[in-house]
Amino acid sequence: MQLKPGVVAEYKKRHDELWPELAAELKAAGVSDYSIFLDEDALTLFAVQKVSDGNTAAKLPDSPIVRKWWRYLAPLMETHPDHSPVASPLKEIFHLD
């Protein structure tokens, strides 16, 4: 995902104040151990999350609270017309348990 210039502090602030109903929605969908990392030079965001077996994370884009969150963050990052973040999947090339 990609931030716009000059918004890092606001992006962090909004996540530091994550809405309880959004956190509950993510947990109910089986999402846990969720982190977002920032490449400060490129303003690129990299998110990592664990999902439980039988999770419903693929349905989160249909959630009204998720869509509201996307609209809330849209001024800060590159988005699609529906305000979902522009994201590129990454290929795992190494893993160690």
Q: What is the CATH number of the domain that holds 23?
A: 3.30.70.100
- Determine, yes or no, domain membership for 15: yes
* Enclosing H/E stretch for 23: helix 20-28
* 15 is known as an active-site residue: yes
Tokens 């303003």 — which residue? Answer: 43
- The reply to whether 31 falls in a domain is yes
Looking at the domain assignment, is residue 1 inside a domain? no
The structural domain count of the chain equals: 1
**Domain interval for residue 24:** 8-76
Give just the sign of the alpha carbon dihedral 70, 82, 43, 26.
positive
Kindly report the pTM of this predicted structure.
Answer: 0.91
Is 81 part of a structural domain of the chain? no
pLDDT in tens, 1-33: 999 999 999 999 999 999 999 999 999 999 999
Residue 97 CB neighbour total at 10 angstroms: 2
Which residue out of 15, 80, 83, 95 is catalytically annotated?
A: 15
59-96 residue pLDDT tens: 999 999 999 999 999 999 999 999 999 998 889 999 99
